[in-house]
C-alpha cells in the first residue's frame, strides 16, 4: 500500500514514525510548504519523492491513500481534493474549522465511497481504549468526565516549539479531542452544550482560555477547561467518574482514583496512539470497511463545536 503524507511538521513526523512500524505500507511522497526542508524529511525517512504540490504527490505511481497533517484551514479542501483524485484519506484532527466544511467532506465521502477518517487519536490511545473496553463489557458506565487541556502557548508555535505559519485554535482543534471522546465513551448523543471564552490574544486573535460543559441524552456530563495561558504541567488530563470506579488518564498512563497504576501495555499492539490510528486507517482501506473515527462517526463533534462557536458570537 502506497501513501503520501502532506505536512511534514511535528505531527507529520509522528505519522512517518508510525508508518515505519506497519508492514506492507510505504510512504512514497511527502508534501511541504517549502521544498528544501521537505526534501530533508524525505531523505531522512527514505521517501523517494518530495514536493510542494499535493496534486503532484497524488499522481505518483500506485498511490492509493493520503494522510493530511497540514494546517487546519486546509484540511477540508485537501480531503476533498484527495477523494476527487480517487484516494482514501486520513485527516489529522480537526477535520475542519467550520461545520459547513466538515459536512462538505462527509458529503464527498458518501459520493465517492472512499475511506475518509479523521485522526481523533484519543479513541486509539491504550489508556482510553482500556476504559472503552470496560464500558462495552458493561462493567462501568460514565457519570461524569472532567478534562483539562493546558498549554503555555502565547506565541504561534507548534508542538515541537517551532514557529507556525498558521494559528492553532482551542475550540476547533483541542476541544475537538474531548468533545468526540466524551460522545464516544458515553455512547450517547450530546444534547446540551454551554461554552464560555476568555479574552482574545491581541496578536493571535483567538481566545486563550475556554470552558465547555456538555450533557448527553441520559444525563452524563462533561466539564472541559482549556488554556493556552497555563504556565505549569502541560497536556490533557482526563478524569472518568464512573458508577463503578474512577480513572485518570494522563498521556499514556492510567491510574485509578487512588493513583494506583493500571497496566495498559497489552491493550493493543502498540502504545503509540498515532501508530494505532494509522493501523486502523490502512486496515479499513484493505478491508473495504468503515474505520473507527470515520468522518461519518465524528461529524457530531463538529456540530457541537459549531454550537459553542455560535454561543461565543464568533
Calpha distance 132→1 (Å, rounded): 30
Q: Is the dihedral of CA 113, 116, 39, 52 positive or negative?
A: positive
Neighbours of 80 (CB within 10 A): 20
Average pLDDT, the chain: 95
Beta-carbon contacts of residue 65 (< 8 Å; ≥ 6 apart): 1, 2, 3, 4, 87, 88, 89, 90, 115, 281, 282, 285
Chain center to CA of 223: 19
For 106-156, write each residue's pLDDT tens digit. Answer: 999 999 999 999 999 999 999 999 999 999 999 999 999 999 999 887 776
CB 42 within 8 A of CB 18: no
Q: Give pLDDT, residue 159.
A: 59
Domain ranges of the chain: 2-120+274-291, 125-267
Contact indicator for 244, 140 with CB cutoff of 8 Å: yes
Predicted local confidence at residue 204, as pLDDT: 79
In whole angstroms, give the CA distance from residue 173 to residue 34.
24
- For residue range 252-288, what is the model confidence (pLDDT) as tens digits? 899 999 999 999 999 999 999 999 999 999 999 999 9
CB 285 within 8 A of CB 65: yes
Superfamily for domain range 2-120+274-291: NAD(P)-binding Rossmann-like Domain (3.40.50.720)
Per the confidence metrics, is the pTM higher than 0.75? Answer: yes
Q: Which CATH class is domain 125-267?
A: alpha beta
- Residue (of 125, 135, 134) closest to 249 by Cα position: 125
Could you report the per-residue pLDDT of 29-41, keeping only the tens digit for each? 999 999 999 999 9
Amino acid at each position: 500500500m502506497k501513501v503520501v503524507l502532506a505536512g511534514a511538521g511535528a505531527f507529520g513526523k509522528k505519522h512517518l514514525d508510525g508508518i515505519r512500524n506497519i508492514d506492507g505500507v510505504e510512504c512514497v511522497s511527502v508534501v511541504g510548504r517549502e521544498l528544501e526542508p521537505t526534501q530533508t524529511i524525505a531523505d531522512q525517512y527514505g521517501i523517494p519523492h518530495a514536493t510542494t504540490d499535493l496534486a503532484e504527490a497524488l499522481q505518483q505511481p500506485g498511490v492509493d491513500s493520503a494522510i493530511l497533517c497540514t494546517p487546519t484551514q486546509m484540511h477540508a479542501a485537501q480531503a476533498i481534493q484527495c477523494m476527487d483524485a480517487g484516494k482514501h484519506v486520513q485527516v489529522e484532527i480537526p477535520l475542519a474549522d467550520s461545520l459547513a466544511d466538515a459536512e462538505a467532506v462527509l458529503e464527498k465521502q458518501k459520493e465517492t465511497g472512499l475511506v475518509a477518517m479523521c485522526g481523533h487519536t484519543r479513541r486509539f490511545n491504550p489508556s482510553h481504549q482500556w476504559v472503552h473496553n470496560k464500558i462495552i463489557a458493561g462493567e462501568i458506565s460514565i457519570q461524569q468526565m472532567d478534562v483539562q487541556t493546558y498549554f503555555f502557548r502565547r506565541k504561534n508555535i507548534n508542538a515541537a516549539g517551532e514557529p507556525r505559519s498558521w494559528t492553532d485554535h482551542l475550540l476547533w482543534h483541542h476541544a475537538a479531542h474531548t468533545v468526540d471522546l466524551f460522545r464516544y465513551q458515553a455512547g450517547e448523543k450530546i444534547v446540551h452544550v454551554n461554552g464560555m471564552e476568555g479574552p482574545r490574544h491581541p496578536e493571535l486573535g483567538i481566545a486563550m482560555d475556554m470552558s465547555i460543559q456538555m450533557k448527553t441524552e441520559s444525563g452524563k456530563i462533561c466539564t472541559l477547561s482549556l488554556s493556552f495561558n497555563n504556565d505549569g504541567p502541560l497536556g490533557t488530563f482526563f478524569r472518568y467518574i464512573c458508577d463503578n470506579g474512577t480513572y485518570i488518564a494522563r498521556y499514556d498512563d492510567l491510574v485509578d482514583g487512588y493513583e494506583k497504576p493500571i497496566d495498559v501495555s497489552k491493550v493493543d499492539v502498540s502504545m503509540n496512539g498515532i501508530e494505532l490510528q494509522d493501523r486502523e486507517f490502512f486496515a479499513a482501506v484493505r478491508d473495504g470497511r468503515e474505520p473507527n473515527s470515520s468522518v461519518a462517526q465524528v461529524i457530531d463533534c463538529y456540530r457541537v463545536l459549531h454550537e459553542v462557536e455560535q454561543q461565543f458570537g464568533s
